[in-house]
Each structure stands twice: as structure tokens, then as C-alpha cells.
Amino acid sequence: MPLIAPNAVRHVAIVGSGTIGASWAALFLAHGLDVTVYDPQSSAEATTRALITNAWQGLVALGVASDTTPKPWRFTTDLAEALRDAEFVQESGPERADIKRQLYAQMEACMKPDAIVASSTSGLVMSELQVGLKHPERFAVGHPFNPPHLVPLVEIVGGKATSPEVLTWLDGFYRHTGKAPIRLNKEVPGHLANRLQAALWREAVHAVASGIASVEDVDTAIAQGPGLRWAIMGPHMIFSLAGGEGGMKHFLDHIGPAMEDWWRDLGTPQLGPEVNAALIEGIAQEAAGRSRTDLVTQRDAALIALIKQKNS
């Protein structure tokens, strides 16, 4: 299957104009690409424009965007119009397999024959989404982390019918647009990073549900502790450094048995009414009157500062 070079892509289509889709659109605009955003609801245009405008400020602060405002881009409620000239499609529609399968069949009928499609799905398996497609080899997962215009990570996962050539192409394309892609060796629900998050959050919920600590103290334990280290290096490398001159071998020999004891003692909480209420109340107390907008602004400013420092 002949493919355009990843750095030769000029026209990108965003299918689905929610928070994730708009964030992707801002990133691609900052890299000089022509962008068309599709959403079946015409009312989504105003929200999308506001989201892109807000995201642009962060891209300027990072130095990714050089202009003070985004280049012109198109919004349409016509799927065929959105896909007509697109060499790459980032699909960010609803997180439902039935909706995505129906959408993919519609997309296939009006895409260019060499266009590549990546799904932003946070946990669905591409092999199940490819069923019934005439050219499933062009479809893969390209899962970002929120917000995509700031957080570099994107997880590339192929389905059973995805061409290896397409996975290599996606790696090159995402790197060309400033991302830090990883390629999973096999499919698993939730991909990799979300499963890592889920494992940590399970114990975080257990800590609250079992009375070990408050919601705020659990969050502080990560944000002011291991989270700082994980932002620099991943858990394997951090633990290898903890092993001193002996590295990972010394860590495994001396800390490994204790770690296994902790694993066996980890909790398995259930998100029932009582636990949910405790989490919701805990977040309200931690927010201390700050609005969601305030918290997002704080998060994004810290992300920008951290990314700039890591890139310096």
C-alpha cells in the first residue's frame, strides 16, 4: 500500500469535535497543517473554536506555535467534505464500539484510498472496531493523553488487520508533529498508560475507602512524591536508580520481596454509592472553591513549565 511520507501530509481531518478533537486540531494547526473538523452537530462549531483558541495560548507558551492566532481552519457537518482531501484522519468520536464501527464504514466510503485513520479511543480494541471494513489495514489506535496539544504521549496500537507499514507511518507522523509515540506489541483493553493509571487509582480509591488517608492526602502523596520522579523517568528506571550502584539487580534482590508483599496486600475497592460519595466530597474539599476552569488553568500552566524544563 503506497503511502505519502509522514512529513508530506498537508491536510488533516478531525472527526469528532469534543475536548480531545479540538486539542488535536490546535496541535496540527500549530504544525502548519490544513485542518478540517467534522461534527454532526452544527452547534459544536462555536465550542470547538473556543477550545482551539484556549489551547493556542499554551502552544504559543511552549514555542510550538509562532503566530499569535491559529491559521484558518474549516468546520463542517458533512463527513464527506471533511475527508475529501485528508491524508490523515484523527477520529475522536464517542467511546462506543458500535458508533465507531458505523462511523468507520461511512468514512471508508468517502476517504482517499491512501488516507490513514487513527482513533483516539482510550480503551477500545481496534481489532473489534475493524470488523466489516473493506480496508481495515488503514485503521489503528493513536491514543493521546489529555490534553493532546500539551502532553506528548501517544499510544500506537494496531488491530489484527492493521498493516505494519501503517504503524510505522503513524510513528513517523506523530513524531513529525511533536509527539512522543510508543508502540504496543499487542492489543489490550485500555492500552498501556490507562492501565497503569487504573492500577494506581485502584489503590488510591482503596486508601480512601478503607480510611488510610483523605482524598487530598492521597493526591498530595503522588503529586509531591513519586509523581515528581515519574515526570522525569518511568518507574523501572526510577527503581533501578534506587538500587544504587547495583541498579535494578540490587533493587530486586533487596526490595523485590517487600514489593511482592505489598502487591498481595493491595485493595480491590468497589465504586459503590458510599465510596463514590467520599471521593466526590473529598475532591470538593481539595478544590477549596476553585472552579474547573481555575484547576485546568493551573494544570496546564504547570504542564507547560514542566515540558519546557524537560525540553531545555
Q: How much is the pLDDT for 312?
A: 82
7-18, pLDDT tens digit by residue? 999 999 999 999
Quick one: cell of 303? 504542564
pLDDT above 90 for 2: no
Task: State how far Cα 284 lies from the chain centre.
Answer: 25
pTM: 0.94
Q: How much is the pLDDT for 202?
A: 98
- Contact, 68 vs 60, CB < 8 A? yes
Residue 40 neighbours by CB distance under 10 Å: 13
Q: What is the mean pLDDT of residues 74-89?
A: 97
Q: What is the mean pLDDT of residues 44-70?
A: 95
Segment holding 139, helix H or strand E: strand 139-144
Q: What is the mean pLDDT of residues 269-297?
A: 95
Give all domains of the chain, ordered by start, each with its CATH number: 6-183 (3.40.50.720), 193-311 (1.10.1040.10)
Give 269-273 contacts, CB < 8 A, sequence gap 24+.
269/202, 269/205, 269/206, 269/209, 269/210, 271/205
Label the pairing between strands 139-144 and 153-158: antiparallel
Residue 141 neighbours by CB distance under 10 Å: 27
Q: How much is the pLDDT for 128?
A: 97
Using a pLDDT cut of 90, give the percent of the chain over it.
Answer: 97
Q: How much is the pLDDT for 1?
A: 64
Task: State how far Cα 119 lies from the chain centre.
Answer: 10
pLDDT above 70 for 109: yes
Measured distance CA(205)–CA(209) in Å, rounded? 6
